[in-house]
Amino acid sequence: MQFIYSGITSGSIFALVALGFNIIYNTTGIINFAQGEFVMIGGMLIYTLLSIYGLPFLIAAPLALLAALFIGALFERVFIKSVRSPNEIKLITITIAASIILRGLGMVIWGRNSLSVDAYIPYKVLELPAGTLTSNSLLVIIVSLVTAFSLSLFFKRSSLGKAFRACYDDKIAAGICGVDVSKIRMLAFAIAALLGVIAGIVTTPISYVTYTDGIMTGLKGFAAAILGGLGSFWGGVAGGLLLGIFEGFFASVLPSGYKDAFAFLIILAVLFLRPKGLFGKKKAERL
C-alpha cells in the first residue's frame, strides 16, 4: 500500500502543476507548454540560493517566490503579448518555443547534472498503516494543500481574484467593466510561475532537479488537469492526486519504464471518452 503514500506525494506536485495550467487556461484559453519548466526553474533557483549563495532557507524561499512572480510576468510580456494577431496555432507553438528556451537556459546556467539540496526540515519517518511517509514527502503534501487553499481563498475573496473570475467568464464584458484584461493575463502567468516554483522547491530535496525535468512534469500536470476537467480548480487538485496514486500503483506492478506511459494513457482516455474530465465545466456547446 506504500504506493498510496508515494502516489499522494507525487500527486501533490501534479496538482500544483495542474493548477498552474488551469489558471492560465481560465484567463487566457492558452495551454502553457512551458508550465513544467517553471517547476524546473523553481528547483534550480532554490539550489542556487541555498547551495551557492548559502542563504538560509527562510530568506532563500521568499526570494525564489518573488523571482517566480517576476519570471512569470516577464514570460507573458516576452512570449504572449508580443504575438500580434494571435491564433490558436501561434499560441500553442509560442509556448513550445518558450519551453525550449527555458530548457536551454537551464542547461547553460546550471549544467546537465542533477542537482539537489538538503532537506528543509529534520528528516523523520512516519509510520503509517501499510506504509511510511518521510518528512520531506509530508512537507510536499502539506505545502501543496496550503497553496491550493490559499489560492482558492484569493480567488473567492479578494477583488483581484474576482477580476480573474470575470475574465474567465467573459473577457469582453470584463474589459467593459473596467478590468484590465492584459494585466490580469500577466498576473495569471505570474501566479502560474509561482505555483510551478513552489512545486519545484518542495520536490528538489526528494527527487533532485535536472534541466530536462520540465517536459515530463508539465505533461503529467496537464494529464492531471484534464483528468479533473480543464479549467476546474479543485478538479485539477483531484486529478493530480488520482494520477499520482494510479501511477504509483502501476509502478508497483509493471516494469518502471511503463509508468510514464500511464499518464499519457490517461490523457488519451479522457480526451476520447470524457473530454470534460471528472469535474469539468460545460461551457455552452458551440459549433
Partner 1 sequence: MRKINYPFLILVLIILISTKFLIKNEYYLSIVIFGMFNAINASCFNILLGYTGIISLGQAAFYGIGAYFAVIVAASFGINPMLAIVLASLFSALVAFIIGYPTLKLHGHYLAMATLGFGMIIYVLMNEMAFITGGPSGFLDISKFSFFGVSIYGEHSFYIFVAIVFFLFTVLFEMFDKSYLSYKLKFIKESEFASKSFGINIFKTKLLVFSITAGITAFNGGIYAYYSGFISPVSFNFNYSIELLTMAIVGGLGTVPGGIIGAAVLTALPEFMASIEDYEMILYGCFLAVTIIFLPGGLTGLIKRILNKNASD
Partner 2 sequence: MLQIKNTGINFGGVKALDNVNFDVPYGRITALIGPNGAGKTTLFNIITGFLKSNTGEIFFENENITNVQPYYIFAKGISRTFQNLNLIPELSLKENLLLGIIGKDNPSAVKSILRLNSKYWQRMEKKIDYFMEITGISEWRDRKTDEVPYGILKYLEIARAIINEPKILLLDEPAAGLNNVEKEKLMELLKFLVNKNMTIFMVEHDMNFVSNLADNVICLNYGKVIANGSYRDIRNNEEVIKAYLGDSDA
Binding status of residue 172 toward partner 2 by CB under 8 A:
no
Do 225 and 243 contact (CB within 8 A), yes or no? no
Whose CA is closest to 29, among 153, 178, 223, 169?
169
Geometric angle at alpha carbon 224, from 222 and 226, rounded to 5°: 70
Geometric angle at alpha carbon 79, from 28 and 212, rounded to 5°: 100
* Sign of the CA dihedral running 160, 165, 166, 168: positive
Binding status of residue 219 toward partner 1 by CB under 8 A:
yes
Nearest approach in angstroms of CB 89 to partner 2 is 15
Q: What dihedral angle (degrees, nearest 10) is formed by the CA atoms of 99, 104, 108, 113?
A: 80
| Cα–Cα distances in angstroms (integers) from residue 186 to residues 18, 74, 105, 169, 252, in the given order | 18, 8, 22, 17, 41
Binding status of residue 287 toward partner 2 by CB under 8 A:
yes
**Which of these ranges, 7-15, 86-94, 137-145, 243-251, lies near partner 1 under the rule CB under 8 A?**
86-94
Residue 147 vs 220, nearer CB to partner 1: 220
**Which of these ranges, 42-50, 90-98, 126-134, 238-246, lies near partner 1 under the rule CB under 8 A?**
90-98
* Core vs surface per residue 260-274: b (16+ CB within 10 A) or e: eebbeebbeebeeee
Nearest approach in angstroms of CB 275 to partner 2 is 16
| C-alpha cell recorded at residue 130 | 501499510
Q: Answer with the entry of partner 1, partner 2, none that 156 interacts with (C-beta below 5 to 8 A by kind).
A: none
Nearest approach in angstroms of CB 108 to partner 1 is 5
Which residues in the 255-284 window bind partner 2 by CB under 8 A? 284
Binding status of residue 74 toward partner 1 by CB under 8 A:
no
Binding status of residue 142 toward partner 1 by CB under 8 A:
no
Q: Answer with the entry of partner 1, partner 2, none that 258 interacts with (C-beta below 5 to 8 A by kind).
A: partner 1
Cell 516494469 belongs to 255
Nearest approach in angstroms of CB 30 to partner 1 is 8
Binding status of residue 79 toward partner 1 by CB under 8 A:
yes
Nearest approach in angstroms of CB 105 to partner 1 is 6
Of 69, 175, 208, 260, the residue at the interface with partner 1 (CB under 8 A) is 260
Q: Answer with the entry of partner 1, partner 2, none that 104 interacts with (C-beta below 5 to 8 A by kind).
A: partner 1
Residue 165 vs 281, nearer CB to partner 2: 281
d(CA 149, CA 176): 30
Nearest approach in angstroms of CB 287 to partner 2 is 5
Do 4 and 137 contact (CB within 8 A), yes or no? no
Binding status of residue 97 toward partner 1 by CB under 8 A:
yes
Identity of the residue numbered 84: R
d(CA 74, CA 285): 34
d(CA 160, CA 162): 5
Do 27 and 184 contact (CB within 8 A), yes or no? yes
Binding status of residue 89 toward partner 2 by CB under 8 A:
no
Of 53, 70, 123, 258, the residue at the interface with partner 1 (CB under 8 A) is 258
Interface with partner 2 (CB under 8 A): 284, 286-287
